[in-house]
Amino acid sequence: MRKPIMTFVICLSLVSLLCGSFDTAAAQGTPLVNKIEIRGLKRIEEGALRTKISQKPGEAVSQEKTNEDIRAIFKMGYFEDVRIELEAFEGGVRLIYIVKEKPTIIRIDYQGNKELDDTKLKEKISITPGSIADTVLIQDNASKLRSFYEEEGYWLANVVPVTKKISGDDISLTYQIDEGAKVKLRKISFEGNQKISASGIKKVMETKEWWMFSFLSSSSGYYKKDRMESDIEKIRNLYYNEGYLKAIVGEPQVSLDQDRKNMTVTISISEGEVFSISSVEVAGNKTFDSETLKKLITITPNTVFRKNLLEKNIQAISGLYTEGGFAMVSIIPDLTPDEKNRTVRVILTINEGEKYRIGRIEVSGNLKTRDKVIRRELRFDEGEIFNSTKLRRSYERINNLNFFETAEIVPKPRAEQQVVDLEVRVKERPTGMLSVGGGYSSVDKLIGTVDLTQGNLFGKGQFAKIKAELGGKSSFYEISFRDPWFQDKPISLSTGIYRTTREYTEYSKKAFGFFVGFGKDFSEYWKGDISYNFERATIYDIKAGASAIVFDQKGTSTTSAITPSVIRDSRDNYLDPSRGSRNALSVTFAGLGGSNKFIKASADSAWYFPVRESAVMVRGRVGYAKGLFNETLPLYERFYVGGISTLRGIGFGIAGPKDPATGEAIGGTTQLIFNAEYIFPLITDMKLKGVVFFDAGNSYEEFNEFGKLRYTSGAGVRWISPIGPIRIEWGYNIKKKPGESSSKVEFAFGSFF
């Protein structure tokens, strides 16, 4: 493409002057502009170009202005040639801007690409057919394509744009691509690190060296410039968090091996010395006194300076202010190092700002879900004082609806009115699912399932399910419905019918039943439920030599029971929590009609604690059941401890009473279970996590045996798959008893622990 040409041609001016055809001003050497014309435009609006012209009719011709006009028109990016001509006109001159527009790109092609198809490449560029053939834009998109190839491991890829003239004003654009071989990141090395090991540094980096499972994650095995820039900052923070206030991390140096298929990245580090804190002060605070603020500060004099602790202290102080309405509070740490004594003085300067109120609340992105379903999860109303805790809780509640791929609440402050408008942005995901398939359960062996579920019925937030499950030892059929806001009131309604059969060790059970329940929130985290359940169950196919307790319950019985429960749930995420707790207490009374009469109570408490990107879970459960009015407690209401949902590594019901005659598990009337887990990410992109655990528990026939526990430990993986949570776990039976297996692998689908 030829370079643009700027020309300034003054025609006829000298002739006109000599002939005396101009007015007095012209005769003095400064002809007036009587008219301005623009020629050569085809696609660009004339008005857009006139806004760039500073020369005006009635003014004397100014070469300085016209030169500036030419530069301004060129900066628009639409023209490859701009020139100006003058013609005599009505005692002055006609100023003519003559332009030549750049051609239009009518087609974009790719040649040479084999590993990455045209569709993927088109997603990475901003230029499209119909765009102006701007050289800078064309080259910029070539750079985008090169960057994309680098991210995919093609470090040697070369992209060259080639244009071809189709007609006078149209061209085609072809990106000629030489992909080259894929270059793997084989080694990340460090120079100058003495106090922190290479393995310790690599742990904080997102960029990983190539290994056999790198294909599972986009962040493993390949060098990406933007990701490495983020990793360099993470390395700096690692040193700052250990007190190395003067640590310097150099730019990564990339080198390829001889065959140009593998690369090594070297990062130079200057660690410096460890700094301690000499003093911590606050300044600028008016609303809260210094003593109140210092109670939130955990960094103290004569301790090692740690940036992450300082940031947590700033967040704690900021949280105190934002909970009180100071939405625009800013806290700036002023660090004054003492090189000689290797100490640092910390001053937290607070700019409180003014109190803000909630302004307009807008919801966007919900194509199906009704506004009210989202708004009723918000913990604030328009006009009330801004509160960051309520803002965070509102996000958690919207996210826990499980209706959206992404959800965010974006504050938009209006300083003049001292209000914060809030925009709730969501991106909906499919909430209806029809699945026909199968699986394997460590208890039921092969399982076939048909499941039709709608989690957001008619966009009202209602849940409906039709499910059929057939396993080697069990079958289950269910139709259920749940409305979290029955009749648009803060009362939940749950109802359903079911039919089930199951083979136990000594007998089989078949049952038909229905349930209905209501619930209500008492406060942000507390809620109560009450449900009624009716079931008709039959014990049959009793094995020869089974326990007398089994033969006593042969035949059909009915249960008419009511169950009140109280739950406190503060988990940040119901599906994959990292902080908060869930505590539940329930009591079942059976005897409101029916032949079975018993009481069954249970308490369940699970707590989650974040540890960086991981989490620790501790859980305890206790249960008690007893027949009433001299009636026997039904077999299927007893507590069976053992298996993936209770005590992993031990078979179903093994941890508990056994039939003296047959040695088969018969369940207990009480239970005690403890579980502890450490959950950590394996492949973040896939939402794949690992878990190590320790379990303790047992069930008991007599209360005086309460407290004798069985122990297991083990590990597993958990995957939040597109079709639901999946877990595979291996448990080791500590101090196994005769006839028991030493370990057990178990599988579950549908929920985590």
Which of 223, 227, 204, 217 has the alpha carbon at shortest distance from 266? 223
**Topology of the domain covering 276-351:** Ubiquitin-like (UB roll) (3.10.20)
DSSP 130: T
Q: Is-contact 68 85, C-beta < 8 A?
A: no
Averaged pLDDT, 169-181: 89
The predicted structure's pLDDT at residue 259: 81
Domain 184-270 shares a fold with domain 357-428: yes
For the stretch 645-667, pLDDT in tens is: 899 999 888 999 887 777 778 88
Which of 748, 673, 742, 750 has the alpha carbon at shortest distance from 716? 748
Alpha carbon distance 690, 398 (integer Å): 27
Alpha carbon distance 108, 385 (integer Å): 54
Q: Write the single-letter amino acid at 12.
A: L
Q: What angle do CA 119, 122, 123 make, to 5 degrees?
A: 90
The backbone torsions φ and ψ at residue 49, rounded to the nearest 5 degrees and listed phi first, read -75, -40
How would residue 617 be classed by pLDDT, with cut points 50, 70 and 90?
Answer: very high
**Topology of the domain covering 184-270:** Ubiquitin-like (UB roll) (3.10.20)
Distinct helix (H) and strand (E) counts, the chain: 13, 33
Alpha carbon distance 551, 546 (integer Å): 7
Ranges assigned E (strand) in 40-91: 79-89
For the stretch 188-205, pLDDT in tens is: 999 999 999 999 999 999
How would residue 586 be classed by pLDDT, with cut points 50, 70 and 90?
Answer: very high
Maximum Cα–Cα distance across the chain: 133
List, as one string, the DSSP characters of 12-30: SHHHHHHHT-S-HHHHTT-
How would residue 19 be classed by pLDDT, with cut points 50, 70 and 90?
Answer: very low
DSSP 379: S
The predicted structure's pLDDT at residue 136: 85
Alpha carbon distance 751, 753 (integer Å): 7
CA–CA distances in Å: residue 38 to residues 44, 51, 94, 100, 102: 11, 12, 11, 11, 16
How would residue 436 be classed by pLDDT, with cut points 50, 70 and 90?
Answer: low
How would residue 234 be classed by pLDDT, with cut points 50, 70 and 90?
Answer: very high
Crossing angle for the helix pair 388-400 and 307-323, to the nearest 10 degrees? 100
Which pairs from 724-731 meet CB under 8 Å and 24+ separation?
Answer: 724/749, 724/750, 725/575, 725/576, 725/749, 725/750, 725/751, 725/752, 727/644, 727/691, 727/752, 727/753, 729/644, 729/648, 729/691, 729/693, 730/649, 731/647, 731/648, 731/649, 731/650, 731/693, 731/695
Averaged pLDDT, 156-177: 89
Alpha carbon distance 524, 390 (integer Å): 10
DSSP 415: T
Domain ranges, ordered by start, for the chain: 5-101, 104-178, 184-270, 276-351, 357-428, 504-749
Would you say residue 674 has pLDDT above 70?
A: yes
Averaged pLDDT, 120-144: 88
Determine how β-strand 33-39 pairs with β-strand 92-101: parallel
At 97 the three-state DSSP class reads strand
The predicted structure's pLDDT at residue 535: 96
Would you say residue 444 has pLDDT above 60?
A: no
Pick the CATH number of 504-749 from 3.40.47.10, 3.40.50.2020, 3.40.50.300, 2.40.160.50: 2.40.160.50
Averaged pLDDT, 54-63: 88
- Say whether domain 357-428 belongs to CATH 3.10.20.310: yes
Q: What are the structure tokens assigned to 191, written together?
A: 């120079």
For the stretch 529-559, pLDDT in tens is: 999 999 999 999 888 777 777 888 889 999 9
The predicted structure's pLDDT at residue 526: 94
The predicted structure's pLDDT at residue 434: 64
Q: What are the structure tokens assigned to 606, written together?
A: 């699970």
Would you say residue 18 has pLDDT above 60?
A: no
Alpha carbon distance 529, 598 (integer Å): 20
Q: What is the mean pLDDT of the chain?
A: 87
Residue 172 pairs with which residues in a beta bridge?
Answer: 107, 164
For the stretch 78-114, pLDDT in tens is: 888 888 888 888 888 999 999 888 888 889 999 999 8
CATH architecture of 104-178: Roll (3.10)
CATH number for the domain running over 5-101 = 3.10.20.310
In the chain, % of residues over pLDDT 70: 92
